[in-house]
Structure formats: C-alpha cells, structure tokens
Structure 1
C-alpha cells in the first residue's frame, strides 16, 4: 500500500465540469482531485455556484461517487494579504464536501522577520476561528514564491510549527535545492505534494514537459517517500490552464502512470 494517494489538480483540465473531471479520474483509476479551476474559470465559487447552486448541492452530487476532493485551491497570498477574510467564501463548500484543505499561496519574495511574524499572527487567528467554529477544513500554504527558497521555508516553519505545507517539489528543486534537504527541514509540516516535470531547452529556459520526459528526479522523490509512512496526496499539477500549448491532462496522466510509480510502489489503489 502506498503512503500517499495519486491525484491531480484541475488546473490541467480547467475547461471541464466536475462531472467530466470525475469521468477523467475514473479512466485513470484515480480517486482524489484538487479543485483549482472549473468550467473555464479559476473563480471556483462562481463555477461551483453555477453548477450546484449551494454547498448542499455539491455534497449531494458527490454522494455515492468514488471521488474525494482533497483541496479547494484559492488565490490568496499569505505574505501579501492584510487578512484572510477572502477565505470565508470557500469554507461552506469545503465543509459540505468534507475537503481537508484550502490552499493559499505564500506570495512575497525576500521575507523579513516582520512579514513572517505577521503571517504567523494571521495563521494563529485562523486556528482560533477554526477551533471556535468547529471547522474540519484547514489551510495549507504552497511553496510557490517566497517559501520556494528553502532557507525562508525552514525559518517560517520554525516560527509557525503548526503550519501545513503544500510542497511544490518542482518549485524548490528548480530553485536549486535537493529534495532531501527540503524534506529534512519541513517533513512534519507537509500535508500535500505537487509534482510536474520539465527540462531546459536550447533557449536556456526551463519548460514543462510530459511526466517522465524531463529531468525532475521523480525516482529520488519516490525513494524519499518510501522511507516514511505518512499518507500524503501526490498531485500532478499540469499547468495547461496557464500554458495552453501543453498536451492534454489525459495525455499527462497516461505518461505519469509509470513516472510516479517508479520504485516498488503498488499500482493505483
């Protein structure tokens, strides 16, 4: 049994409705997805409201379907927002669908101590609100901007040891940090993983390619995960919404089958 579950972000199939997304997942024996875009927009609340009217409608739709929504992905940036009030509209949908996490970005660039302290205060306020309201959903912070730098990431989790981290393995690796170094610094904070592949072309720039066609060290990541026993979603973030020249998510999931099962992991559960 694998220590994580395979899933994908709907950023790779943003034109699809949730019904079509579930069909896609079933074709690839995947039982978990993270919602970033639906029906042509990254405005998830608008798309969900159009399709299901309210959170109860989403819950009714999901009942009996073999799919888990592991995250609703917001555009909120922790280090650039005065507060986290924009998260409020996502909470009823997440609670109704039993979603584990709401993704927020880190944002920022070179962080100072005051920025980290302010972010810690915001997260502390969130946890107080979460406890007082009896919420199940929690926030996870993606290593996208400032926290893609491992020194700042480690400093952040040292100050906020309860922070939940969505580790975008490609972002930290592309910045020059080996996977083991990141894991050693934040292992207990990681609740979700993003994976993708890329290579440097003749123009000297790194470009996304189909899983297994680039130089991301997936075998090293698999080996790293094998040495641990935590159940962590491993999500293919195929950025076709931002890079429409990329092949379809269907093609990416097909090539990912062998790529993210390197080593002795069992096949899709």
Structure 2
C-alpha cells in the first residue's frame, strides 16, 4: 500500500484561474488537482489559452509549482456520440500539463451489448491514435450515468477490460451499490476516485453537505483502498459550480482534512 494522492476538482472553485488554484492547493496541503472549470468557464482550452497563451506557457508555470495536474475533465460522453473527436482541443494542454488522463463521461442510461461494442471500438481507435502520435495522456470514463449502475459497470469492464475508470464513489453508492462488492469487481480498472458527502432531507432527497457531516461511508471506502498498492488520486468533487449555495471549496477542504485521512491513511 502506497497511500493515496489527495486531490480536488476545480468544479468547486471554477471562478479561480490556475494561479489561484495552485495557491489554494498549497494552503491546504493538496498534492494534485483535476481541472474542470477555470476563470468562470468550463471551456478549459479557452481559459488556459487566456491565462497562459500556449501550452508551453502552462508547462513553464507548472514546472515552478509543487502541484500535479491529475486530469483535464471534458464534457464528452462516450455512449452518446459517434466518436471522440471533441476531446482534440484538450490534448495539447493535457500533454503540456503532464496530466495522466482526460476525463470523459459515460452518458447513456441502459446499455446494450451493441453499445458496449461500439464504445470499445471508439476506445480502440483512441488508443491507435494515441500510439501513432506518441501521446502520454489517456482517457478515463467517469461513472456518472449508465455506469453508476452496478450491473452495467461490471458488464462494461468485463466487455472492455482496457477501459480506465474514474469511480465516482458517491454516485454508485447513492444508486445502491455497496463499495466492497463493487470494488471487488472493478478495482483493476479504477485509476481515479471522486468522493463527496451528502445527507437525506425531509423529502427523502439527497443534498450535498460538508465532508463528514453526511452519511457517505468514507471509513469503509478507506479500509477497502488500504490494500491497494497503487497511489490512486482521491479527489474531492465539491460541486459548487452547479450548486452555488454550497460553502466555498476551502471550507470543504478544511472539513475533508480529517474525513478522508481517517484510518490507515
């Protein structure tokens, strides 16, 4: 067990530019960030171009920082499009940042075998292009829509074992999947994790709360991860961009400092 790499998504501070994000990470002892929104927009290539000019400017900035960009998060959906060409504007920035992954959503609702085959073909085409261009960045697929369902996620990783998975642990848990049973089936495919906390309101609906104030089973998740030999990024996805009523990300990071470091970590 090598421990985890603590991380946060800029979905929680999408008004900040990357200079400010790096300062926020440093203040909170965070080692890595995943980029989703910057400078008030989710159009990362445009935001990075406005701040740094060219990818080489981003690379020069990051060379002076003690922060790693774990991923650039796109809005592309694997199961809802004919191909993965919309990720092209992100590639040069991801390479300059030294990011390991570009995030794509799963999309869809109910997956057919034909749909899984098509997705596998698209991922094969991506890998062929990646090798021909000598790219280091790869794709990871978030468990957001169809793949938040236990049976569909397990079927997908069995059908497409080379797929890399961003496991949004809250999404699968909220849909009724036990972390232990699911981890036992998908662990080899998982390269990144999202965590967040929530509680039920009086109408039986979930709403996000500061880490540690809800009922997400973080202790159980951390116990599961303790046996993994990889240094997986565990990222706080504080969805303030979509839920502006939430407290600032820095408050969430302060609350998370004990919540996600409990147990052996």
Q: Give the TM-score taking structure 1 as reference length.
A: 0.97
Matches of 2:97 and 2:257, distance apart in 1: 27
Post-superposition CA distance 1:115-171 (Å, at most 9, x none): 111000000000111111111000000000000001111111111111000000000
Give 1:10's aligned residue: 10
**SS of corresponding position for 2:172:** helix
Matches of 1:2 and 1:258, distance apart in 2: 19
Checking the alignment, whether the CA contact within 8 Å between 2:223 and 2:264 is kept in structure 1 is no
Give 2:167's aligned residue: 167
**SS of corresponding position for 1:183:** helix
Aligned residue pair count: 265
Give 1:188's aligned residue: 188
Matches of 1:30 and 1:244, distance apart in 2: 23
Cα distance, 1:182 vs. partner? 1.3
Cα distance, 1:3 vs. partner? 2.1
Gaps of 5+ in 1: none
Cα distance, 1:264 vs. partner? 2.3
1:38-187 matches, within 5 Å, as 38-187=38-187
Matches of 2:243 and 2:28, distance apart in 1: 23
Cα distance, 1:2 vs. partner? 4.8
Matches of 1:175 and 1:202, distance apart in 2: 19
Give 1:35's aligned residue: 35
**SS of corresponding position for 2:102:** strand
Runs of 4+ in structure 1 deviating by more than 6 angstroms, as ranges, are none
The CA RMSD over aligned residues, in Å, is 0.8
Give 1:203's aligned residue: 203
Q: Give the TM-score taking structure 2 as reference length.
A: 0.99
Cα distance, 1:97 vs. partner? 1.3
Gaps of 5+ in 2: none
